[in-house]
Amino acid sequence: TQTTTLCRPQQTMMTLTSFRGRLALWFGGMFLVTLLSVGLYVGRLATKQIEITAGESVHASALVAANLLAANLRERELEITLLSQTSHFVRGDLAHLEILQALELRKKARKEFAWLGVADTQGTVIQGTSGMLQGMSVDKRPWFIAGLEGTYTGDVHEAVLLSKLLPGLPSGEPLRFIDFAAPIKNKDGQVIGVLGAHGHWSWVTETVQAAVQNMGSESLSEILILDKQGAVLYPKHLVVVVQLPNGLSMQKHYANVQWGGDHNYLTSRVAVNARTDNDLGWSIVVRQPLETALQPLYALRNRLAVLGLLATLVFALVAMRLARSVS
pLDDT at 219 > cutoff 60: no
More confident residue, 32 or 72: 72
More confident residue, 12 or 282: 282
How does the average pLDDT of the chain come out, rounded?
Answer: 82
Give, rounded to a whole angstrom, the gap between the first and last alpha carbons of the chain: 27
Question: pLDDT band for position 324 (50/70/90)?
Answer: confident
Taking only the tens place, the pLDDT of each residue in 119-155 is 999 999 999 999 999 999 999 999 999 999 999 999 9
Cα–Cα distances (Å) from 237 to 91, 159, 241, in that order, read 47, 20, 7
**How many other CB atoms sit within 10 Å of the CB of residue 44?**
10
Q: What is the pLDDT of residue 272?
A: 93
More confident residue, 227 or 249: 227
Instruction: Report whether 256 contacts 52 (CB < 8 A).
Output: no
Taking only the tens place, the pLDDT of each residue in 50-59 is 778 788 888 9
Q: What is the pLDDT of residue 217?
A: 53
Question: pLDDT band for position 218 (50/70/90)?
Answer: very low
Q: What is the pLDDT of residue 67?
A: 92
pLDDT at 82 > cutoff 70: yes
d(CA 8, CA 14): 18
Instruction: Report whether 89 contacts 83 (CB < 8 A).
Output: yes
More confident residue, 232 or 291: 232
pLDDT at 300 > cutoff 90: no
Q: Name the range with the highest mean pLDDT among 21-30, 50-59, 258-267, 274-283.
A: 274-283
pLDDT at 301 > cutoff 70: no
HEC string for 166-186: CCCCCCCCCCEEEEEEEEEEC
d(CA 285, CA 59): 9
Taking only the tens place, the pLDDT of each residue in 146-200 is 999 999 999 998 877 787 788 776 666 778 899 999 999 998 999 999 999 999 9
Q: Residue 179 is which amino acid? A: D
Q: What is the mean pLDDT of residues 17-43?
A: 72
d(CA 322, CA 192): 99
Question: pLDDT band for position 293 (50/70/90)?
Answer: low
Percent of the chain with pLDDT over 90: 37
Question: pLDDT band for position 216 (50/70/90)?
Answer: low
pLDDT at 202 > cutoff 80: yes
Instruction: Report whether 276 contacts 73 (CB < 8 A).
Output: yes
- Total-model pTM: 0.76
Question: pLDDT band for position 7 (50/70/90)?
Answer: very low
pLDDT at 33 > cutoff 80: no
Q: What is the mean pLDDT of residues 96-125?
A: 93
More confident residue, 67 or 239: 67
